[in-house]
Amino acid sequence: MKFLILILITQVAFAKLENKINYIADILLKEQYLINDSKERADFVKRQLIEKSAKSLDNKKLEKIIDENTEFIDLKKEIVKRIKDKYSEEEINKLMAILETKEMRKLAKDVLSPILLMPHFKMNKEKIIYEVKELKKSQ
């Protein structure tokens, strides 16, 4: 019986910690503390790739190759994962206290910089390079 009570207490504590982590992630997303806007950044990288590619290539085909090999990251999942990896329960409680008031949130950027510096999308560069080479060969 004591074992079951201990398991129940552990589960409740874990659920509370999960709720705190999700709360922190929601605030970070809502307050837009993240460094780059993912869509704008991905479009910028795409334009750079197109400009640096051979001028003789069809831009529509090149855009299609880039779009097919670009994947956006679920930012909330990534933030939750990083909070779990980098902070102890005590530190998570301190983060909650910092984020409770708008005035204190300004401090959060420094405390949370390891979480906030992340890419918002992934590009399969090897596949893009390969497909661009194939496109060049076919033209």
Calculate mean pLDDT across residues 4-19: 60
CB-based contacts of 88, cutoff 8 Å, min separation 6: none
Q: Degrees (nearest 5) of the Cα angle 79, 23, 36? A: 40
| Nearest CA among 9, 22, 15 for reference residue 96 | 22
Q: What is the pTM for the complete model shown?
A: 0.52
Model confidence over 98-137: pLDDT tens digits? Answer: 777 766 666 666 666 666 666 667 777 788 778 877 877 7
Model confidence over 24-65: pLDDT tens digits? Answer: 777 777 666 554 456 666 777 777 777 766 566 677 777 788
- Calpha distance 95→100 (Å, rounded): 9
Question: Do residues 27 and 106 lie in contact, with contact meaning Cβ atoms separated by under 8 Å?
Answer: no
pLDDT confidence tier of residue 8, bands split at 50, 70 and 90: very low
